[in-house]
Amino acid sequence: MSANKVYPLLKSPITIRGMTLRNRFMLAAMGSNFAEEDGSCGERIQAYYENHARGGTGLIMLETTSIAWPAAASMPNMVGFSNESFLPGLTQVVERVHKHGAKIAAQLNHSGKVSQEDIVAGRPLWIPHPLEKHPSDMMSVLTPEEMGNFIKMAGPDGKGPRYHVMTKDDIQTLVGQFVSAARLAKKAGFDAVQLHAGHGYIISSFLSPAVNQREDEYGGSRENRARLLVEVIQAVRSEVGEDFPILVRMDANEYRIDGGITPDDFIVSAKLAEQAGADAIDVSAYGNVAKSIAFTEAPLVHEPGGFLPFAKKAKAALSIPIIAVGRLELDEAEQGLSAGDFDIVAMGRKLLADPELPGKIMADRSAAIRPCIYCYICVSQIFINQPLMCAVNPRLGQEYRDDLIASARQSKKIIVIGSGPGGMEAARVLAERGHSVSLWEKDKDAGGTARIAALAYEPNGRLIRWLHSELKTLPVDLQFGKLATVEAIKAESPDQVIVATGAARTAPDIPGKNLRHVFDGDQMRGLLFGTDPVAMKKLPLYKQFMLFSARHLQILRSVGLLRALSHVWMPVKKKVVIIGGGLVGVELAEFLQERGRDITVLEPGANLASELSIVRRARVIHLLREHGVSLQTNAKIVEINDSVVVYEIDGERNEASCQQVIIALGASADTTLSDQLSKAGINTVAVGDCKRVGYIDGAIHDARAIANGI
Ligand SMILES: Cc1cc2nc3c(=O)[nH]c(=O)nc-3n(C[C@H](O)[C@H](O)[C@H](O)COP(=O)(O)O)c2cc1C
Ligand code: SF4
């Protein structure tokens, strides 16, 4: 079990213009698509925010809203903030949050050039200046089904968005909309407002030199570009009075946007915002949405603490509190507070994965925090206009159904077979519900095939470690190295068996698949972890010896150690062809390329890694291409021989040279064991990949649903 750590500064209160927060945690604003279709805050969104408040966070930032609803909205189920009809729902959100001791601010926004709902309705989008068109490379990674979600972006006449360059009268209308929304927020009982001046929305369109080339007093110099922001702050201040905090979210940098906002531009605008009456600056950043990788540079930064230098710069230049955000780890957050680099720690994804994170820190239970695995499923849902969800937290968005893990009516004796994410989650939930649970795993270590996923993508390992460590805190009988057979299970007379043994992997019949340099997915896993004697026999003797020794010294049992070691040595040659460009093939390609191998991926179908969320997929594919990995789709595999893989695209013959070949195809559901058990009269249910091959989220969600129903 990992040790609990104490974070005294994260636990300390702070006051901003009379608003005292119980700790330094802020829920970063995150669009959820949980509002009702009429823009009101119904039970679903109320219960969602109440749950975050219950989780112990100091300040909740309500997601992006529209101050001109139904116009200026970027999602179908956007929170409306344009008139008094929204007051009842907003007031209820506030009251339910306050009940649990959290404060709540409203993020007031006008989506400007990103107002998707205006495109759908055929309304013109407000912009400061005509836009330059940039081709998007995002579409190339989408599957046809995902593409379907973007069709309505062509607008009712199919001609795409129409734009309206704002006149000075429009600017005054916009300022008035912010003022009315702030009045509404105060009336609803919010403790503060946050003006959204980032992420490509309307105020940031004025701040960005790449977009704003106006020639009047709202364009040109940095001061002129910040004029709209300053006017909005001043007007909102005179509306809300001196005792109401106004926070501002800004971009400290625009990534991959020629002539976009620079950190120096940001400091100038932030200082002007401070002079105009802002009480805190939330330091975010933005990336060019037309470039698939940019989104994971900003605002959803992939690099841990990627925006910290900007927060530090702002702290040195301003005297109001600074809110840091962007994949902040707890240790770095505590250290940054202690160094005086910022004052408040905003978290997005970590609080989706575990809304109780702040409460666990307050109670010195850091080891109990469920980790985010940076799979980008949450935000990809918003991309395709679906409600927010989280891969590792099945309850997210379901709070209104009140499906808490309830005690079982009758405690049963249950055996869970398999310690992948699905098996461990099932065992965890069952034990929490009071059942008597044994978990059987045939390997010596927890994780199942997810161990290879953890090897390829480090955050996956955090989930396995967390699940394993939670199981150790619960009364679960953990049996490693235990093979489940019908006889062995029968001998235990369980009331219920849960089979979570994962998918079967059978390499398709490709001529040459039995050659010595060809491995299937299972053999490759066995090779890397030193657990497959048949696969190891395919290696030269000295490599077999190295693997044997490493296994003997227990080195190959730790995924973390193996990840580190694999940068120095692993039994994989320089030139590798991976057959199969699904999730496994693409993540393996990423792992091997990062370790200096020359990789070709041959995918028989039209799409790469469709099991990965859009945003993570776009990132991986971009990085693989950038690093020279050859990615071939629609590649019909003809044969593998000693030095090449022969394949055809559109009937044309090609060869990819190789020293080793990995076949990452052929995963299928495998109900053999659950069928055998059922046949033997044992009450059995299958969970996760052995039932239907999917990603970690599928296994976790399935496991919870099943375990909650027993
Ligand atoms: C699902 C999702 C929705 C988001 N929606 C918003 C939003 O409505 N307004 C906003 O300012 N930022 C939004 N963001 C950005 C977050 O506020 C935050 O800045 C970003 O996720 C980086 O923080 P993190 O690494 O802790 O997740 C969103 C992020 C996610 C994951
Ligand atoms: S969906 Fe994935 S990235 Fe998003 S919060 Fe959950 S685990 Fe993290």
Query: Ligand 1: which atom is nearest the Cα of residue 382?
Result: 1
Task: State whether the beta carbon of 249 lies less than 6 angstroms from ligand 1.
Answer: yes
Q: Which amino acid is at 529?
A: F
C-beta 79 within 6 A of ligand 1: no
The ligand 2 atom at the shortest distance from the C-alpha of residue 389 is 1
Average pLDDT over residues 152-174: 91
| The residue to which tokens 């291409």 are assigned | 625
With bands split at pLDDT 50, 70 and 90, how would you rate the model's confidence at 642?
Answer: very high
**Mean pLDDT along residues 73-95:** 98
Same domain, 340 and 426: no
**Are 343 and 260 contained in the same domain?**
yes
For residue range 92-118, what is the model confidence (pLDDT) as tens digits? Answer: 999 999 999 999 999 999 999 999 999
**Domain containing 439 — which CATH number?**
3.40.50.720
User: pLDDT band for position 521 (50/70/90)?
Assistant: confident
Where residue 405 falls among pLDDT bands split at 50, 70, 90? Answer: confident
Residue 300 has what pLDDT? 96
Among 401, 433, 460, identify where a domain stops: 401
Report if residue 5 sits inside a domain: no
Do both 654 and 674 map to the same domain? no
CATH of the domain at 104: 3.20.20.70
Residues 369 and 428 grouped into a single domain: no
Residue 683 tokens, joined: 């009450």
Regarding whether 652 and 535 lie in a shared domain, the answer is yes
Pick the atom of ligand 1 nearest to 249's CA. 11
Q: Whose CA is nearest to atom 31 of ligand 1?
A: 379
- Per-residue confidence (pLDDT) for residue 532, from 0 to 100: 76
pLDDT tens across 17-51, in order?
999 999 999 999 999 999 999 999 999 999 999 99
Same domain, 524 and 494: no
Distance 647 CA to ligand 2 centre (A): 37
Most informative mutation of 30, 204, 247, 342 for ligand 1 (most atoms within 8 A of CB): 30
The phi and psi torsions of 559 (rounded to 5 degrees) equal -60, -40
3-class SS of residue 492: helix
Residues with CB under 6 A from ligand 2: 349, 352-353, 372-378, 390-392
- Closest residue by Cα to atom 5, ligand 2, is 349
Cα of 74 vs centre of ligand 1, distance in Å, is 14
Q: What is the mean pLDDT of residues 578-601?
A: 95
556 pLDDT above the threshold of 90: no
Q: Which ligand is nearest to the CA of 377?
A: 2
Element (H, E) at 414: strand 413-417
Residue 2 included in any domain: no
Is 407 part of any domain? no
| Least confident range of 19-28, 399-408, 589-598 | 399-408
Choose the residue to mutate in 64, 300, 301, 374 for probing ligand 1, maximizing ligand atoms within 8 Å of C-beta: 300
For residue 553, the model assigns a pLDDT of: 62
Residue-wise pLDDT for 136-145, tens only, equals: 887 788 888 8
Are 168 and 307 contained in the same domain? yes
Mean pLDDT of the region 398-409: 82
Averaged pLDDT, 39-65: 98
Whose C-alpha lies nearest to ligand 2, atom 8?
372
> For the ranges 75-84, 154-163, 371-380, 606-615, which has the lowest average pLDDT?
154-163
One-letter amino acid identity for 437?
V
For residue range 242-294, list pLDDT tens digits in order.
999 999 999 999 999 999 999 999 999 999 999 999 999 999 999 998 887 88
pLDDT digits (tens, 9 = 90+) for 415-429: 999 999 999 999 999
Q: Given a cut of 60, is residue 184 above it in pLDDT?
A: yes
- CA-to-CA separations, 301 to 274, 306, 347, 350, in angstroms, rounded: 26, 6, 12, 13
Residue 568's pLDDT is 78
Nearest CA to ligand 2 atom 1: 390
Q: Examine the domain organization and report whether 551 and 489 are in the same domain.
A: no
How many H helices and E strands in the chain? 26, 29
The half-sphere exposure of 489 on its side-chain side, counting CA atoms within 13 A, is 28
Query: Mind listing the pLDDT tens digit for each residue in 185-218?
Result: 999 999 999 999 999 999 999 999 999 999 999 9
d(CA 199, CA 635): 39
- Same domain flag for 623 and 636: yes
660 and 677: one domain?
no
**Does the structure show a pLDDT above 60 at 239?**
yes
Residue 160 lies in a domain: yes
Q: How far is the CA of 615 from the centre of ligand 2 (A)?
A: 11
Nearest C-alpha neighbor of 103 from the set 24, 34, 48, 47: 24
pTM for this entry = 0.96
Same domain, 336 and 427: no
Looking at the predicted structure, is the pLDDT value of residue 650 above 70? yes
Domain that holds residue 701: 413-503+669-708
Instruction: Give the pLDDT band (50/70/90) at residue 550.
Output: low
- Is the CB of 31 within 6 Å of ligand 1? yes
Distance 14 CA to ligand 1 centre (A): 23
Average confidence (pLDDT) over 462-479: 97
What is d(CA 596, CA 600) in angstroms, rounded to the nearest whole number?
Answer: 13
DSSP secondary structure, 644-686, as one string: EEEEEETTEEEEEE-SEEEE---EE---HHHHHHHHTT--EEE
Could you tell me if residue 7 is inside a domain? no
Residue with the smallest CA separation from ligand 1 atom 4 is 30
Beta strands in 526-635, from DSSP E residues, in sequence order: 575-579, 598-602, 630-632
Last-in-domain residue among 401, 423, 444: 401
Is residue 539 situated within a structural domain?
yes
Describe the crossing of helices 583-594 and 614-626 by its angle, rounded to 10 degrees: 40
Average pLDDT, the chain: 94
Write down the pLDDT at residue 86. Answer: 98
The partner residues of 247 in beta bridges, in order of sequence, read 194, 280
Q: Does a structural domain hold residue 8? A: no
What contacts 24+ positions apart, CB below 8 Å, involve 13-20? 13/58, 14/58, 14/321, 14/343, 14/344, 16/192, 16/245, 16/247, 16/279, 16/280, 16/321, 17/192, 17/243, 17/244, 17/245, 17/279, 18/243, 18/245, 19/103, 19/191, 19/192, 19/245, 20/103
For residue 578, the domain's CATH number is: 3.50.50.60
Assigned domain for 585 exists: yes
Confidence of residue 547 (pLDDT cuts 50, 70, 90): low
Q: Is 373 in the pocket of ligand 1 (CB under 6 A)?
A: no
Query: Given the structure tokens 């927020």, which residue do they identify?
Result: 185
- With CA atoms as reference, report the closest residue to 92 among 35, 141, 134, 131: 35
Residue 1 has pLDDT above 60, yes or no: no
- State the pLDDT at residue 549: 66
Q: Does residue 199 line the site of ligand 1, with CB under 6 A?
A: yes
Question: Residue 555 has what pLDDT?
Answer: 63
The total number of structural domains in the chain stands at 3
Q: Which of 355, 375, 401 is the last residue of a domain?
A: 401
Q: Looking at the structure, do residues 64 and 172 belong to the same domain, yes or no?
A: yes
| 560 vs 349: which has the higher pLDDT | 349
